[in-house]
């Protein structure tokens, strides 16, 4: 009898112990700190991809200098080295600073109309490594100030006549270590334009890069200004589109080091600022089709990062 | 918390700037002077624009000839500009809208990298085309 009693006590203690252990284990599981799903590492090597912004924003307190350059059209071939020695280059020099995590503010000066631009870029959502968030979402806004003399704006000049705006929503994904793709939609507005030109333009596009070595990549872009009947203020009597901006299509090579990015590309817009590219990228002479070398030119972009 | 405040401030400033400054205006200039039609019986009329005296110097002033100096078409140097412009179809008599010598480097609406310096220069070119784009 004693043995049976002792067996029951031992058994119950054993069960209690095992239950208690399970409880401890459950508690341990509950209290185990969640592994943070961190953002993917550098979906793009630079904040700029040819003409477009990427979701890449460096760490906070980083200063970025950007030099963008466009040569002349390539139509003269070898005689002026496909436009490299041709006059009529376009240049932009800009500086961006990451004030807080995921927010970058910038200023730049472009040769087109000596336009100053102030920009802001913010990463709303970042793609994570464990795919908890599958895409990144970034907004970019640019405010341009035309730097020409007052009489270029005609009668009834006001300082706000100089303003132009560009807003863009970018959604993209780093698919793997060598492929990142973005799509974007944008809205462009110019306060004062010459008669026969729209004030507003909506555009869509896509771009991306394919890395083929740790430092090198092929990148591309395609931006399309849309023909939206309701938005257009100007068409001919036959309801046809006149001087509608052409797409900005480009392809190039990118070289990235830790703090530098160098991109060289061929593209179909001499404009550097996005609002000008979406609004004023027209074919200067209609006798040349879009795919002629008259409409394509060589350009390059260099960026340099400094951490503070 | 400070970061969130800063974001709010930037967003508010951006929205104010966007909505307070959005305008829909057109660039309009004072009425273009309408010269009398060219009088072929007269010698040079009072308002006749001389290509040699009024137009060619513009290409020099606006630095067009820095590049268009014979190495690049059109040749806009003195003595060669008229032939180069007309043979390349860059000026259409009486039709300034189809004259690339007027439209392409226009300081307001042109898309050339280098443009005329002011509208006074384009007004002269406009008048010259209006009067028949003569070699005078």
Flag whether pLDDT at B43 surpasses 60: no
* Chain B positions in Cβ-Cβ contact with residue A160 (cut-off 8 Å): 21, 23
A33 within a domain of the structure (yes/no): no
The whole-number pLDDT of residue A14 equals 44
What CATH number does residue A124 fall under?
2.40.160.40
Q: Give residue A230's pLDDT.
A: 77
**Which residue of B2, B16, B21, B88 is the best one to mutate when testing the A interface, meaning the one whose CB has the most A CBs within 10 A?**
B21
Instruction: Give a yes or no: residue A17 inside a domain.
Output: no
Residue A222 pairs in a beta bridge with A206, A249
Task: Please tell me if residue B19 touches chain A, with a CB cutoff of 8 Å.
Answer: no
pLDDT in tens, A53-88: 999 999 999 999 999 999 988 888 888 898 898 877
Chain A residues in contact with B104 (beta carbon < 8 A):
284
Kindly list the residues from chain B whose CB atom is less than 8 angstroms away from the CB atom of residue A192.
23, 25-27
What's the pTM value of the predicted model, to 2 decimals?
Answer: 0.72
Please report whether residue A68 resides in a domain: yes
Which one, of A155, A186, A192, A149, lies nearest residue A171 by Cα?
A: A186
In a domain, A25, yes or no: no
Q: Are A247 and A277 in contact (CB under 8 A)?
A: no
| Domain-located, residue A120 | yes
Q: Which of B104, B114, B57 is nearest to A87 (CA)?
A: B114
In chain A, which residues have their Cβ closer than 8 Å to the Cβ of B67?
Answer: 87-88
Whether residue A9 is contained in a domain is answered as: no
Counted domains in chain A: 1
- Distance CA(A257)–CA(A187), nearest Å, equals 33
Which of B26, B64, B75 to mutate to test binding with chain A, by most A CBs within 10 Å of its CB?
B26
Could A99 and B21 be called an inter-chain contact, meaning their C-beta atoms sit closer than 8 Å? no
pLDDT of residue A146: 92
What local confidence, expressed as pLDDT, does residue B63 receive? 82
Higher-scoring residue by pLDDT: B83, A231:
B83
Report if residue A217 sits inside a domain: yes
Q: Decide: A112 and A21 in contact? Cβ < 8 Å.
A: no
pLDDT in tens, A144-184: 999 988 878 888 888 889 999 999 999 999 999 899 999 99
Across the interface, of B25, B107, B113, the residue whose CB is closest to A152 is: B107
For residue A187, the cross-strand partners are: A167, A202
A231 close to A241: Cβ distance less than 8 angstroms: no
Question: Which of B23, B88, B114 should one mutate to test binding to chain A, selecting the residue with the greatest count of A CBs within 10 A?
Answer: B23
Size of interface A-B (CB pairs under 8 A): 92
Instruction: Tell me what the mean pLDDT of segment B9-33 comes to.
Output: 70
Q: Which residue of A has its CA nearest to B24?
A: A191
Two structure tokens written together for B48: 């006749």
Q: Residue A30's pLDDT is what?
A: 58
Taking the mean position of all CA atoms in its chain, how far away is CA A158? 32
- Regarding an ipTM greater than 0.85, the answer is no
Closest Cα partner for B78 from B99, B61, B98? B61
Residue A269 has pLDDT above 60, yes or no: yes
Q: Is residue A4 part of a domain?
A: no
Instruction: Quote the domain boundaries for residue A184.
Output: 48-307
CA distance A6 to B63: 111
């Amino acid at each position: 009898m004693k043995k049976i009693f002792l067996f029951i006590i031992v058994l119950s203690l054993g069960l209690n112990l095992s239950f208690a252990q399970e409880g401890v284990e459950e508690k341990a599981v509950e209290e185990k700190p969640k592994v943070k799903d961190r953002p993917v590492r550098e979906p793009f090597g630079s904040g700029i991809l040819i003409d477009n912004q990427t979701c890449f924003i460096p760490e906070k307190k980083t200063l970025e200098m950007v030099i963008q350059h466009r040569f002349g059209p390539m139509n003269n071939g070898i005689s002026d080295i496909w436009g490299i020695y041709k006059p009529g280059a376009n240049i932009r020099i800009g500086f961006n600073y990451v004030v807080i995590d995921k927010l970058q503010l910038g200023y730049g000066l472009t040769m087109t109309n000596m336009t100053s631009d102030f920009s802001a870029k913010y990463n709303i959502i970042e793609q994570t490594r464990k795919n908890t968030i599958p895409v990144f979402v970034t907004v970019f806004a640019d405010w341009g100030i035309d730097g020409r003399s007052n009489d270029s704006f005609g009668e009834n000049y006001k300082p706000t006549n100089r303003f132009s705006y560009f807003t863009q929503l970018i959604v993209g994904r780093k698919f793997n270590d060598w492929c990142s793709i973005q799509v974007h939609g944008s809205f462009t507005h110019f306060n004062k334009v010459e008669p026969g030109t729209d004030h507003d333009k909506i555009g869509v596009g896509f771009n991306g890069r394919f890395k083929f070595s740790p430092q090198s990549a092929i990148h591309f872009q395609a931006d399309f200004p849309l023909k939206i009947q309701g938005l257009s203020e100007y068409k001919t009597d036959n309801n046809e589109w006149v001087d509608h901006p052409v797409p900005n299509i480009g392809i190039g090579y990118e070289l990235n080091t830790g703090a530098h990015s160098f991109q060289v590309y061929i593209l179909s817009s001499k404009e550097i600022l996005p609002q000008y590219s979406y609004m004023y990228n027209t074919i200067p002479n209609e006798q040349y089709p879009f795919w002629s070398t008259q409409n394509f030119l060589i350009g390059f972009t260099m960026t340099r990062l400094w951490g503070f | 918390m400070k970061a969130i405040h800063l974001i709010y401030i930037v967003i508010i400033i951006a929205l104010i700037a966007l909505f307070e400054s959005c305008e829909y205006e057109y660039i309009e200039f004072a009425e273009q002077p309408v010269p009398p039609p060219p009088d072929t019986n007269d010698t040079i009329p009072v308002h006749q624009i001389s290509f040699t005296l009024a137009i060619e110097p513009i290409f020099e002033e606006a630095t067009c000839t820095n590049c268009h100096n014979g190495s690049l078409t059109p040749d806009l140097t003195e003595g060669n500009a008229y032939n180069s412009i007309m043979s390349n179809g860059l000026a259409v008599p009486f039709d300034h809208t189809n004259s690339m010598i007027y439209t392409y480097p226009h300081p307001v609406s042109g898309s050339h990298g280098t443009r005329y310096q002011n509208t006074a220069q384009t007004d002269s070119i406009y008048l010259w085309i209006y009067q028949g784009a003569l070699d005078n």
